[in-house]
Amino acid sequence: MSALSDVQGQLSDNRRHSGRGLGRVLVVIYGILALAATARGVVQLVTHGDQAPLAYGLSVAAGAIYIVATVALALDGRWRPIAWTSVTIELVGVLVVGVASLNTPDMFPDSTVWSGFGKGYGWVPLVLPMVGMWWLWRTRTKSSETIEA
């Protein structure tokens, strides 16, 4: 009985862990975006940061948030609130910077990862936080089951 319930428990845990199964695919995509945004932002800031400090600074900040989201999604558990926070910041960031880059292009002489709603990255920065939120919601622990356990 205990062996069977152990297996069932493991399957249930796997389903609910944000960093396993489909969650690992999300973690990889977040990791790639984190690498791309951070590397690009750092290179731009170091080589010609004075040309568009706001844009390049935003790219580095976005990269840092993607790194936090990657780690939080992969680890889950006590990191889950941090995952929710970072994914929400990403969505707000891409929407605010997306609108600002279209309305006041003078503020963004060079593009950032969030400009034009992430157009330069195939709109992945716009779609990814929504997918991240959906996944965090789908893998949440239901309170009734927590009480039962």
The DSSP code for 112 is -
Please, what is the minimum distance in Å from the beta carbon of residue 31 to other proteins?
7
Binding of other proteins by 99 (CB under 8 A): no
Binding of other proteins by 31 (CB under 8 A): yes
Sketch the per residue contact string, 43 through 72, with other proteins: x for CB under 8 A, - otherwise.
Answer: x--xx-------------------------
At 141, which amino acid appears? T
Measured distance CA(79)–CA(71) in Å, rounded: 8
Binding of other proteins by 146 (CB under 8 A): no
Binding of other proteins by 28 (CB under 8 A): yes
Measured distance CA(18)–CA(27) in Å, rounded: 9
As given in the structure block, the two tokens for residue 91 are 């969505």
Q: How far is CA 141 from each of CA 17, 37, 78, 114, rounded to the nearest angstrom?
A: 9, 32, 12, 32
Residue number with CB closer to other proteins (47 or 103): 47
Binding of other proteins by 77 (CB under 8 A): no
Measured distance CA(75)–CA(69) in Å, rounded: 10
Per CB under 8 A, residues contacting other proteins are 20-22, 24-25, 28-29, 31-32, 35-36, 39-40, 43, 46-47
